Amino acid sequence: MTVTLLAFAASLRTSSLNRRLLHAAVEIARQKGAQVDVAEFHEFDMPLYDGDLQVREGIPVGAQELARRLQAADGLLLASPEYNFSIPGTLKNAIDWLSRIRPLPFKGKSALLLSTSTGLVGGNRGLWVLRVPLEMLGMHVYPDMYSLASGDKAMDPGGFPVDAAARLRLEAVIGGYLDTAVRLHG
């Protein structure tokens, strides 16, 4: 069975460290046999959530597109920055819009969460906040996550960790997730 994944980094910045890390993760996932749909967060542009706007105009096109791409996949490979020790407002806003779509696009899907930052915590606190709405919406968020400290120095231009042990661990986390995804979605 081939696992199909949607992959994106939850950052709008062109030079995002999380996008670089995501691209390495995508390459590893493909080498391990996954079929990956790589998206840009900009493809899912949507307004700030407003219940009145939803009544007037329905679900925005960008949210529908994210829901469609997620529905078409078994799981999600998501690299997210940490803003103020928490989830980025931009990413939470996307989750809030998608939570209004039925059937719930997250339900029964799996996810592997990655992060990096220039600091020593590598964005790990933000990922734990991110797990809550994803799990509440029915996602099987893989227990293990990958957070890379000092991402501005610790990655090569392709996003691969330069430290051998850090790279092996990234490969192991992705391998472990894909094994689980085969079981969950096979």
User: What DSSP assignment string belongs to the chain?
Assistant: ---EEEEEES---TT-HHHHHHHHHHHHHHHTT-EEEE--GGGG--PPP-HHHHHHH-S-HHHHHHHHHHHTSSEEEEE---BTTB--HHHHHHHHHHTTSSS-TTTT-EEEEEEE-SSSSTTHHHHHHHHHHHHHTT-EE-S--EEETTHHHHB-TTS-BSSHHHHHHHHHHHHHHHHHHHHHH-
| Residue choice 13, 57, 61, 172 for contact with a copy of itself (CB under 8 A) | 13
Closest distance between a copy of itself and the C-beta of residue 96, in Å? 5
Binding mask 98-137 for a copy of itself (x = CB under 8 A): -x--------------------xxx-xx--xx-xxxxxxx
Closest distance between a copy of itself and the C-beta of residue 26, in Å? 22
The β-bridge partners of 7 are 38, 77
| Residue choice 70, 73, 94, 170 for contact with a copy of itself (CB under 8 A) | 94
Beta carbon nearer to a copy of itself, 121 or 168: 121
| Residue choice 63, 141, 154, 155 for contact with a copy of itself (CB under 8 A) | 141
Binding mask 27-66 for a copy of itself (x = CB under 8 A): ------------------x--xxxxxx-------------
- Judged by the rule CB under 8 A, the positions of this chain that interact with a copy of itself are 11-14, 16, 45, 48-53, 83-96, 99, 120-122, 124-125, 128-129, 131-141, 143-144, 149, 180, 183-184, 186
